[in-house]
A and B are shown apart, each in its own frame.
Chain A
Amino acid sequence: MKKYNITFESLYAISMIILFSVVYLTILVLAFAFLYDGYLEWFANKQGSGYGFYTGVIGLILLVGIFWALFPKKKEGIILEKKDAPKLFELVDKAVAKTQIHPINSIRLVPGSSIAVTGLFNKQLLVGIASLRYITEKDFEAIFYHEIGHFAAKDTKIGSFLGVYFETLEKQYISSVNFWNYSPHYAIAIIGLPSLAMTWLLMHLFSFLYAPYSKFREYKADEFAAAHSNPKQFANALVHYSSYTYAHDVIMPQIIVQLLSENKKLTNVYATMTNYWHKENAEASMNAVLSDKEQFRDSHPSLQNRLKNLDVTKIGDNEGKTLKTMFPQFEKFEEQLSDNYTIRIGINAGLLDRSTKSLD
């Protein structure tokens, strides 16, 4: 018989899931009750709350968010086939067999730098295209064990489940903001304020409640990775991985913005970025991630705390070939995903229009 270990964390997770589910259902009831109130006053000529116009509008905003969240986002990236990266598939299969988790259904190359896993039933490994040139096979293997740790603990299932609630709130918040922005008059816009305030508060409450649990799961996945590779290999990989993702997310965009404003053509933005990955930038990134202080609402613990949890005090290099050597045609994939990254940075910097889809 399977033995279940009841811990504070698991009890907290259960109560959190209950609360998030109840909040979701309450919003659903609220949206329909408000819409009904509006209907009573304006269409049925029956007595409601007496504020049917206002409640009707708020109900409509909430309902738009609920339905909007039901439409899944278009998935970015390229699903890899075995022939695209045979060695990567071998490495993944080996790790899956070693840890005895259910097989991973697909590997997807995605824009950006993160390595992550997702999926409620369809297990997916997401590999940020920017990581191919910067981390070694051994780094990847160690990070991958961390991700398997999330699968093994069913974190992705819980994450996907709670993701629906987070997304609904986010969409309701965006609907409220749009109502505010596009209302012809402040007197009308103000009607949407209660839903704006409510969704903003709930979004912050959710992330506040979720943060400690999320950090706990990260520590557990770190321990899983350290146990299946070794603490030193994982710690080295973690620091290098964190360092290049910081560079990719914080330092490189500044360079891309400069190149875009000089009207430079960026056929392969990832190849362009390697020209700027020199010692100075690498050191700046490393220092930034190692000195980063943990905030309560962060979803991940600070690097310092993660290393402390692994009892690792000294960092080295996981020597070996970079991950790109596993992809016979990695530049082809980089070029395919290049525009996506450049356009995102260009839009955020105000250099490109929000409707930009291609740089051709």
Chain B
Amino acid sequence: MKKEKSIFVKAGYLLGILFCLVASVSLVYASYLMINWTVSEHPDISYYGYETSGQYSDYPSTRYNCDEKSWLKNESNEVINRFEIKRIDYEDSKKKFFASSGIENQLDAYYVWGDEYNLLIGIFNELVNTYNKDSIFFDTCDNTFSTTIETKRGYLDNEEKSMDKEFRILKPKAEVEGYVFD
């Protein structure tokens, strides 16, 4: 009654054994990954993260209570206003420098220009500090504020380059006149 198995039957069993083993190893690895994920650290949900990823664009604002921190918006508006007022003074001082003549007048006007620039920088820093008080609020409820900051940062960078350029022209003239710089 004992019959010899055909080559196809043997091959079938071998294929089955191979399939079972490969599938088992793959599933063990999948289980390992799942267990690893489960026991890993799961940070608190950051709705800010959803916003920057581009998904659920309206999701965070529905969870974040914007009204509760509306005072931050008022504060940012107030600092922006002060920056704009100070910028008028700064632009005036810059114009006076370019209108001045004679090395002594030019140097005086340059220092006033520099002082106004530093005052403007001080207000710019207030803008950044206001943003840092609650960046999630500004990104969620008033995303124009960060754009405003970046625009002003660009403006100040250009102004600084402009001041450096003028000083490089002014310095050799002043040194010829006997002025000494640190």
Contact = CB atoms under 8 A, between A and B. Distances in A.
A15 B16 contact: yes
A254 interface: no
B168 interface: no
Q: Is the interface of A mostly helix, strand, loop or mixed?
A: helix
A305 to B, nearest CB: 12
A17 to B, nearest CB: 9
B109 to A, nearest CB: 57
Contacts of A47: 42-46
A15 B20 contact: yes
Contact of B5 (A8, A11, A23): A8
A179 B14 CA distance: 39
Nearest to B32: A29
A18 B16 contact: no
Contacts of A30: 31, 34
B12 interface: yes
Interface in A285-322: 309-311
Interface in A6-27: 8-9, 11-12, 15-16, 18-19, 22-23, 25-26
A45 interface: yes
Q: Which of B1, B5, B19 has the most CB of A within 10 A?
A: B1
B37 A209 contact: no
A18 B21 contact: yes
A18 B14 contact: no
A174 interface: no
Interface string B31-58: 1001101100011111000000000000
A16 B16 contact: yes
Size band of the interface chain A makes with B:
20 to 34
Contact of A33 (B5, B20, B38, B43): B38
Given A18-B20, A19-B20, A23-B27, A29 B13 contact: no
B85 interface: no
A36 interface: yes
A29 B35 contact: yes
Given A11-B13, A25-B31, A309-B1, A16 B42 contact: no
B25 to A, nearest CB: 9
Contacts of A231: 1
Contact of A11 (B9, B12, B17, B44): B17
B66 to A, nearest CB: 19
A45 B24 contact: no
Contacts, number: 80
Contacts of A40: 42
Interface string B67-99: 000000000000000000000000000000000
Contacts of A309: 1, 3
B124 to A, nearest CB: 35
Contacts of A29: 31, 34-35
A212 B12 contact: yes
B170 interface: no
A209 B20 contact: yes
Contact of B17 (A12, A33, A41): A12
A137 interface: no
Q: Which of B23, B35, B37, B43 has the most CB of A within 10 A?
A: B23
A46 interface: yes
B7 to A, nearest CB: 11
A235 interface: no
A67 B78 CA distance: 63
A12 B16 contact: yes
Nearest to A29: B31
B21 A26 contact: no
A226 B27 CA distance: 42
Given A26-B31, A46-B43, A231-B1, 6 more contacts: A9-B13, A46-B44, A47-B46, A209-B16, A310-B1, A311-B1
20 contacts: A8-B5, A8-B13, A8-B17, A11-B17, A12-B20, A18-B21, A25-B27, A26-B27, A26-B30, A29-B34, A30-B31, A30-B34, A32-B38, A45-B44, A47-B45, A209-B16, A209-B20, A212-B13, A226-B1, A309-B3
